[in-house]
Amino acid sequence: DQARVDLINSCSPYAANVHLLAQLGDMYGVQKGQGTNTSVYVVFSGPPGFAIPKGFMVGDGTYTYTVQRDTMIPESGQTEPVYCLATTGGSWAVPAGTVNQIKTSVP
């Protein structure tokens, strides 16, 4: 029974052996050897109607991230989380609330 539990628990990208990890990658369409950029969701606040275009850049003091879709601040003055992608390849932790710098000049 413990062997079955261990097998099921090993079906994770964080605990998989190389063969299983390759199979998981094939299932999800991840190409072997392809790098990725870290992503983060950012909530913008400001005057209602302010446009945040795709490509708008924000940062955390170390890395810069670009907004991936056109967004507009709603009447509430705060957006839903907006998907942003790092401009630098690699993977790192992004603690909540740390992406709080505007890198693109605001008119």
pLDDT digit string (tens) for 46-57? 999 999 999 999
Tokens of 30: 């991840």
Residue 42 has pLDDT above 90, yes or no: yes
Pair 29, 56 in one domain: no
8 CB contacts (<8 Å, ≥6 apart)? none
Residue 26 and residue 47 in one domain = no
DSSP class of residue 78 equals B
User: Which whole number is the average pLDDT over 15-24?
Assistant: 75
- Structural domains of the chain, count: 2
For residues 44 and 94, state if they share a domain. yes
The answer on 41 and 14 residing in a single domain is no
Query: Could you tell me if 29 and 42 lie in one domain?
Result: no
Q: Can you give the pLDDT at residue 82?
A: 96
pLDDT tens per residue across span 61-105: 999 999 999 999 999 999 999 999 999 998 899 999 999 999 998
The reported pTM is 0.68
In a domain, 107, yes or no: no
Residue 29 domain boundaries: 1-33
Residues 27 and 43 grouped into a single domain = no
The answer to whether residues 64 and 87 touch, using CB atoms and an 8 Å cutoff, is yes
